Amino acid sequence: MSAEGVGARLPRKEDDRLMRGRGQYVGDIRLPGMQDVAFVRSPLAHARIRAIHVPEAYRDRVFTAAGLDGVLPIRAVSGLPGFKVSEQPVLATGKVRQVGELVAMCLAPTRAEAEDIAASVVLDLEELPAIHDMLAAREPGSALVHEHWGDNVFLETLVDVDIAAAFDAPIQVSRTISTGRQCMAPIEGRGTVVQLDHRLDQLVVHTATQMPHIVRNGLSECLGLEQGRIRIVSPDVGGGFGYKAILLAEDVALCWLALRCGHPVRWLEDRREHLTANANCREHHYRITAYAERDGTLRGIDCEATVDSGAYSAYPFSACLEAAQVASILPGPYDFPSYRCRTWSVATNKCPILPYRGVARTGVCFALELVLDAVAREAGLPPEVVREKNLVRPEQMPFENITRKHFDSGDYPQALARALASIDVEAVRARQRAGEPDGRRIGLGLSIYCEQAAHGTSVYSGWGIPMVPGHEQVSARLTPDGGLELRVGAHSHGQGLETTLAQVAHEILGVPVARTRLVHGDTAMTPYSTGSWGSRVMVMAGGAVAAACEALRDRAVRIGAHLLQARPEECRFEGGHVVGPSGDVPLEAIARTWYRRPQDLAPDTDPGGLEVTAGYKPVRDSGTFSYAAHAAVVAVDPDLGAVEILDYVIVEDGGTLVNPLVVDGQIYGGLAQGVGTALFEEMRFDARGQPLASTFADYLLPGPAEVPMARIDHMETPSPYTRFGQKGIGEGGAIAPPAALANAINDALGALGVEMLHSPVTPRRIVEAVLAARTGPQQAREAA
Amino acid sequence: MKPAPFAWERPANLAALLERVATAPGSVKLIAGGQSLGPMLNLRLVEPDLVLDITGIPELRQARVEGETLVLGACVTHADIEDGRVPDLTGGALQRVASAIAYRPVRNRGTIGGSLVHADPAADWVNALTALGAAVEIAGRNGRRTLPLERFVTGALEVALEPGEILLAVRIPALPDGTAWGYVKHCAKIGEFAHAIGAVRIEPGAGRGRAVIGAVEGPPVLLADARPLFGGRIGADFAERFDPAAADAALRAAGMADAVERHVHVTVLARAVAQAARPNPLPLPEAA
């Protein structure tokens, strides 16, 4: 390993810019003549539009669906059999199906004036019954989000692998477990600035997105424009987490408006729009039964899972990715013989649901790990024993699990053992027995997951959604002075790719990381890519950078050999130099020769020169499986419901780590979001479908005081299928914490007869449960 | 989230301010730190015609001791109190309350007067100063008057200011030697508005005490005579005599129907009592 290559713990190059406030975000873009847009949004969750009254004075500044000629609705269709298609109008037509749905677009020189205009538009709405409860929405006779469907189910799926064989198990534990609806809350919201480039007859769309090329597909389809007439530029992006991996109706509307007006137009999402209008995540409901032997060996898992998909199918992942993924990944890192899972993706009058960091894994891990603890209590076994009994073992690798997921490598029991040793189970149990002087109760919680990442064509072609990843391509170019440019279609929005991809290039070419520039976030300058999602970039773009740099290296060796008057096979490439029998020549000299002194090249030199586009796919594209064991110790105040995290340990195996420092950062960030899911974040709705939080005073995110300083331990079991053995790890930190923390809380409060089965585990819910256990359910209901 | 149009003026002295408040046509809002009014303007929850910036008025920034009373001008910031830039007659009680209000950037700008006039039931000053027995000085064009804080805060976000009046200063009585003080709040996370507040000011020697249960639906629940919480008598053993059932009954009487909420509020009050009984209060008076 070289000092800057794969495995080096380098600080991130981009932080010099980002930490000094010199990042360039969509909100920093100022274009001459630019005007601002504010939207009139539906105040109701479900209503028929009778009329939209626009004051006479603003007729030329307000646009509704009636004026949006030639614009098609957003359609994110899945090819899975039985999937029902929703059409999301760019501006509402006929009905509104969620609070915050776009009804009219108002244009003014400033956002404040545009909001003044929006406030003057009067909507005449006939309110319809709102569908806000996904379980009720499945019942016959429910009001309908999309009338022509006949019900509210986007998609129903069923997997059954011999579940009946488990029915005679001596231990059967059933629970109803659910996770709250969340917002993704990146620091930077969405935002779009569209400019019409008259010279190129091209819309230049500056937008905060994780997937510029996919946004171009979607805009082209909705606007009926050739792809060549659209260029997407995604500058610095202040966090994505899945929220910036969808095409928004706002993006389409702004493009139409720029074409119509001719001057640049801008919309910047504000926090209220983010919280109430644009997309949610995470709302799952499980009825789950575990069948086990008395020694904790799992016989089977039987589950009914429902996901509240919201009103529309979001582009490109569709409304069913989340629930259908539940069915395929619920078994997690465990090996058992019987399994059944039925899922429903249900339409409601809420914002569309999106894949958020971890996607369905966070909910699945919550359901499965909580029910495993229930099995342990039922069997009278420590929770770690139930896990040790059932984890996939290293000698089974590569392992195909019950839903035919292919685990590439790893030692799951070792991760658990290290976590148990690090958290010091004996010491925690002793403290627990001794009791706390302040009356709080101590609990220990475990949670283990596996994260399929960088899964490619063979997986996504089955979903039949608008986006299927193929080969990932990267262009590598040596500049005339020997620097390196990498053109990458994926995008960095916090992952540190400007550093880590340069490390990969350094590993092959020896170019200093400081002399390698990443060109990304621009469809005009980069090869096609589905973008940054699914923890795929280090595997896919990392592999492609290596492939492109290897091709460059081979060309450099041939040019260098000529300069050294040697045969290419007599030369080798080492530390950025071509080394021949009688001397060596640095990459700078080779670049100078190709670009500036072509007279020194061999007559038969490769005309491709020092710029290469290479494509990459792992030898098997069913995905890498990173995994981790999390262990948490909490102190719970049963009278106030306050939870303090006393200790938190993460043992993670991400295969070969390209930059362990960046991986640590990914884990810490994911953990912060996982703590939010576990204890704080929830967007609640009333019976009329009104979201009950519109600022961060009501939608609580964890702050620095609430996120523990976790202790991270790395294992590195290389993937046999990827270029360096690296695995995707970007989402894992957010997957396990809700289960680990809820299990710890349940361990703390179990003696009081309390079991918390809904995230977030808020103080209010804890006190309710403690009082209910003290006074009996009847009085507690009256109390609530 | 941009405010509706409004006019902005910054009167240079108290007379000019009172003149504008009394005579300006349309609706008027006063702004000092803007930590509550700013978001309310941006969310268009209020749409005043005129906003008067009162931070340029020297009288409102004054802090002084008048005998056994500390007088803090309305524009004294939480950070002024936290950092000890104003005098203190409470043995550090005000400083400890101030240091746990929201976050430091809020404390840098937010003012004691603004907090009282905004009268959020979960605000620290509304509750702590009621327990301390503070009063407010009110000024109008026709003169000045003083009201005990419990008669000034009349409801959630409601205060007893007449048209044309402004809050000038807060008058806080000294905590005599031997007075026990406890202040505890319960927040879902550090810096958020409290879900429950308990405050007690107890003079065991005199057998007197005041108690406040705050962060309730309306104004703080004040027991100006706290003896019922302690079995009818306050003495050196007050902490042991605390009666949760009496606190629960007070909350029932105040209309708090939810047993879970009552449990949390009674617990927090009990902890404030326990804190008061300890010789050295904790630096951060927070339960969670």
Question: Residue A381 and residue A376: Cα distance in Å, rounded?
Answer: 5
| A185 belongs to a structural domain | no
Our CA-based measurement puts residue B193 at a distance from the nearest CA of chain A, in whole angstroms, of 8
Q: Which of A113, A272, A640, A765 to mutate to test the interface with B (most CBs of B within 10 A)?
A: A640
Query: What are the residue boundaries of the structural domains of chain B, listed by start?
Result: 7-52, 59-173, 180-277
On whether any CB of chain B is under 8 Å from the CB of A716, the answer is: no
* Residues A532 and A452 placed together within one structural domain of the fold: no
Our CA-based measurement puts residue A530 at a distance from the nearest CA of chain B, in whole angstroms, of 33
Contacts of B189 in chain A (CB under 8 A): 680, 700, 702-703, 705-706
| A232 belongs to a structural domain | yes
CB B182 within 8 A of CB B272: yes
Is the fold of B59-173 the same as that of B180-277?
no
On whether any CB of chain A is under 8 Å from the CB of B244, the answer is: no
* Residues A611 and A698 placed together within one structural domain of the fold: no
Contacts of A782 in chain B (CB under 8 A): 259
Judged by DSSP in three states, A178 sits in: strand
Looking at A228, A257, A278, which one is the last position of a domain?
Answer: A278
Our CA-based measurement puts residue A640 at a distance from the nearest CA of chain B, in whole angstroms, of 6
CATH number of the domain within which A43 lies: 3.90.1170.50
Rg of chain B over all Cα atoms, to the nearest angstrom: 19
Place of tokens 């969750």: A45
pLDDT value of position A199: 95
On whether any CB of chain A is under 8 Å from the CB of B65, the answer is: no
Which residue, among A705, A647, A370, A221, has the nearest Cα to B284 in the 3D structure?
A: A705
Answer yes or no: do B264 and A641 touch at CB < 8 A: yes
Contacts of A780 in chain B (CB under 8 A): 259
On whether any CB of chain B is under 8 Å from the CB of A752, the answer is: no
Residues 612-651 of A with CB under 8 A from B: 637, 639-642, 644
Our CA-based measurement puts residue A767 at a distance from the nearest CA of chain B, in whole angstroms, of 7
Facing residue for B189 by CB, picked from A271, A702, A767: A702
Show the beta-strand stretches assigned E in A395-528: 399-400, 406-407, 441-453, 472-478, 484-488, 516-520
CB B52 within 8 A of CB B21: yes
* Residues A525 and A445 placed together within one structural domain of the fold: no
ipTM confidence score: 0.95
Answer yes or no: do A763 and B195 touch at CB < 8 A: yes
Answer yes or no: do A119 and B4 touch at CB < 8 A: yes
* Opening angle at CA A363, ends A359 and A369, nearest 5: 130
Q: What is the mean pLDDT of chain A?
A: 96
For residue A120, give the chain B residue with the closest CA. B4
CATH number of the domain within which A296 lies: 3.30.365.10
Q: Which of B1, B104, B120 to mutate to test the interface with A (most CBs of A within 10 A)?
A: B1
Facing residue for A706 by CB, picked from B1, B189, B196: B189
Helices (H), A618-681: 660-675
* Residues A549 and A686 placed together within one structural domain of the fold: no
For residue A270, give the chain B residue with the closest CA. B1
* Residues A575 and A625 placed together within one structural domain of the fold: no
> The domain B180-277 is classified under which CATH number: 3.30.70.20, 3.40.640.10, 3.90.1170.50, 3.30.390.50?
3.30.390.50
Q: What percent of chain A has pLDDT over 70?
A: 99
Q: What are the residue ranges in chain A where pLDDT is below 70?
A: 1, 777-784
pLDDT value of position B280: 63
Answer yes or no: do A705 and B39 touch at CB < 8 A: no
Contacts of B193 in chain A (CB under 8 A): 697
Our CA-based measurement puts residue A579 at a distance from the nearest CA of chain B, in whole angstroms, of 60
For residue A697, give the chain B residue with the closest CA. B192
On whether any CB of chain B is under 8 Å from the CB of A697, the answer is: yes
Our CA-based measurement puts residue A118 at a distance from the nearest CA of chain B, in whole angstroms, of 11
On whether any CB of chain A is under 8 Å from the CB of B258, the answer is: yes
Contacts of B269 in chain A (CB under 8 A): none
Write the DSSP assignment of B219-276 as a string of letters: S-EEESS-GGGGTT--STTHHHH--HHHHHHHHHHTT---HHHHHHHHHHHHHHHHHH
* Residues A274 and A288 placed together within one structural domain of the fold: no
For residue B103, give the chain A residue with the closest CA. A703
Question: Residue A411 and residue A628: Cα distance in Å, rounded?
Answer: 10
Answer yes or no: do A680 and B260 touch at CB < 8 A: no
Q: Describe the crossing of helices A361-379 and A383-390 by its angle, rounded to 10 degrees.
A: 110
Q: What is the pLDDT along chain B (288 residues), one digit of tens a residue?
A: 999 999 999 999 999 999 999 999 999 999 999 999 999 999 999 999 999 999 999 999 999 999 999 999 999 999 999 999 999 999 999 999 999 999 999 999 999 999 999 999 999 999 999 999 999 999 998 899 999 999 999 999 999 999 999 999 999 999 998 999 999 999 999 999 999 999 999 999 999 999 999 999 999 999 999 999 999 999 999 999 999 999 999 999 999 999 999 999 999 999 999 999 987 655 544 433
Question: Residue A184 and residue A62: Cα distance in Å, rounded?
Answer: 30
Contacts of A639 in chain B (CB under 8 A): 263-264, 267
CB atoms within 10 A of CB B84: 12
Contacts of A783 in chain B (CB under 8 A): 258-260
Task: Find out if CATH 3.30.465.10 is the number for domain B59-173.
Answer: yes
* Pairs across A and B, CB distance < 8 A: 75
CB A326 within 8 A of CB A307: yes
pLDDT value of position A779: 53
| A203 belongs to a structural domain | yes
* Residues A673 and A768 placed together within one structural domain of the fold: yes
Facing residue for A703 by CB, picked from B189, B193, B260: B189
* Residues A353 and A309 placed together within one structural domain of the fold: yes
CB A504 within 8 A of CB A547: no
pLDDT value of position A222: 98
For residue B102, give the chain A residue with the closest CA. A697
Contacts of A764 in chain B (CB under 8 A): 195, 260
Our CA-based measurement puts residue B287 at a distance from the nearest CA of chain A, in whole angstroms, of 8
Type of residue numbered B38:
G
Q: Which domain holds residue A203?
A: 31-128+190-237+244-278
| A221 belongs to a structural domain | yes
| A133 belongs to a structural domain | no
CB A185 within 8 A of CB A272: no
Contacts of A112 in chain B (CB under 8 A): 2-3, 5
On whether any CB of chain A is under 8 Å from the CB of B186, the answer is: yes
Strands B166-173, B158-159: pairing is: unpaired
On whether any CB of chain B is under 8 Å from the CB of A458, the answer is: no
CB A511 within 8 A of CB A477: no
Facing residue for A771 by CB, picked from B188, B191, B260: B260
* Residues A609 and A540 placed together within one structural domain of the fold: yes
pLDDT tens for each residue of A377-422: 999 999 999 999 999 999 999 999 999 999 999 999 999 999 999 9
* Residues A231 and A112 placed together within one structural domain of the fold: yes
Q: How many domains does chain A have?
A: 3
Facing residue for A767 by CB, picked from B4, B263, B287: B263
* Residues A600 and A637 placed together within one structural domain of the fold: no
On whether any CB of chain B is under 8 Å from the CB of A116, the answer is: yes
Answer yes or no: do B1 and A767 touch at CB < 8 A: no
For residue B265, give the chain A residue with the closest CA. A640
Answer yes or no: do A700 and B189 touch at CB < 8 A: yes
On whether any CB of chain B is under 8 Å from the CB of A728, the answer is: no
Question: Residue A703 and residue A756: Cα distance in Å, rounded?
Answer: 23
On whether any CB of chain A is under 8 Å from the CB of B268, the answer is: yes
Q: Is the pTM of this model over 0.90?
A: yes
* Residues A429 and A482 placed together within one structural domain of the fold: no
Looking at A557, A586, A616, which one is the last position of a domain?
Answer: A616
